[in-house]
């Protein structure tokens, strides 16, 4: 019987947008299983804090600042990671939402300005493509790699008031499937994890917001918000040797908000 392992010792991972929330959880989980982790965030202080947590727990990590949609910036980040940790084996495209400020107002699409759409496309679609472009070549050359991209149920089912965000996430999922077809013969896999409503780290809800959340969760089979550990467990599988025959797939981690065949 094959003994499956989630041991990532000797592997180098970069997790984008890992200064908080889901990215932080994934970075810490990969490090706990032996990976050397480059913690990326647009905000350097956030990346440094998470890298410090990993080091304090006995892992190896560095903080790397870059805008994932900036090709030159990601190239410079890759050079530093290679110099300090080694060639990247695992890329987790986690950076998302609406960029550094995180504000995502729900708007009627017919009232939006096209300039506003770029906030979503820049990080959720172009950021994924940029990072994959920079890191996949080395994976192909070495004959091994894992690319895991965090998308959203908004890209699977659509989300009223978040049309540009939904489009960007659907685009990232389609890009990942195409990438899987290109990279599979080189020993590199590409998969996505689609999320639904996640609890916000350290957020205290007002009574009104708490009531709205409780009402919203009636649409979920598992009636709670998602936690970073829920996502990190699946990311660990897709980053490990155990997923060598899984590629081009999407894994909904969504508490049963929507089902997939």
From the candidates 120, 144, 165, 251, give the one annotated as an active-site residue.
165
Class of domain 12-252: alpha beta
pLDDT at 203: 62
The domain spans of the chain are 12-252
* Whole-prediction pTM: 0.93
- 165 counts as catalytic: yes
With b for 16 or more beta-carbon neighbours within 10 A and e for fewer, the 18-55 pattern comes to: bbbbbbbbbbbbbbbbebbbbbbbbeeebbbbbbebbe
β-partners of residue 63 are 39
Written as six digits, the tokens of 42 are 């647009």
| Rounded-to-integer distance, Cα 80 and Cα 207, Å | 46
| Rounded-to-integer distance, Cα 69 and Cα 57, Å | 31
Q: What is the pLDDT along the chain (261 residues), one digit of tens a residue?
A: 566 789 999 999 999 999 999 999 999 999 999 999 999 999 999 999 999 999 999 999 999 999 999 999 999 999 999 999 999 999 999 999 877 766 777 888 899 899 889 999 999 999 999 999 999 999 999 999 999 999 998 888 888 878 999 999 999 999 999 999 999 999 999 999 999 888 877 666 677 777 777 877 778 888 788 899 999 999 999 999 999 999 999 999 988 888 876
Range list of H helices, 127-251: 127-142, 153-157, 163-183, 207-216, 228-239
Edge-to-edge strands, sheet with 60-65? 60-65, 36-41, 12-15, 90-93, 145-152, 188-195, 250-253
């Amino acid at each position: 019987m094959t003994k499956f392992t989630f041991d990532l010792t000797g592997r180098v991972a970069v997790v984008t947008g890992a200064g908080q929330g889901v990215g932080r959880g994934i970075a810490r989980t990969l490090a706990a299983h032996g990976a050397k982790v480059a913690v990326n965030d647009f905000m350097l202080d956030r990346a440094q804090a998470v890298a410090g947590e990993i080091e304090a727990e006995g892992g190896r990590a560095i903080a790397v600042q870059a805008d994932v949609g900036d090709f030159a910036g990601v190239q410079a980040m890759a050079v530093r990671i290679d110099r300090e940790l080694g060639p990247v084996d695992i890329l987790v495209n986690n950076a998302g939402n609406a960029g550094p400020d995180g504000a995502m107002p729900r708007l009627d699409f017919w009232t939006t300005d096209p300039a506003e759409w770029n906030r979503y496309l820049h990080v959720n679609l172009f950021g994924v493509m940029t990072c994959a472009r920079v890191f996949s070549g080395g994976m192909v050359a070495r004959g091994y790699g894992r690319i895991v991209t965090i998308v959203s149920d908004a890209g699977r089912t659509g989300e009223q008031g978040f049309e540009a965000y939904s489009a960007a996430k659907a685009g990232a999922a389609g890009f990942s499937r195409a990438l899987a077809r290109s990279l599979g013969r080189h020993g590199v896999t590409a998969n996505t994890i689609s999320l639904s409503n996640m609890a916000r780290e350290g957020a205290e809800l007002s009574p009104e917001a708490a009531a709205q959340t409780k009402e919203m969760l009636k649409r979920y089979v598992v009636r709670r918000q998602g936690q970073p550990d829920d996502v990190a467990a699946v990311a660990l599988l897709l980053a490990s040797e155990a997923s060598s025959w899984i590629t081009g797939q999407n894994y909904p981690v969504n508490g049963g908000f929507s089902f997939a065949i």
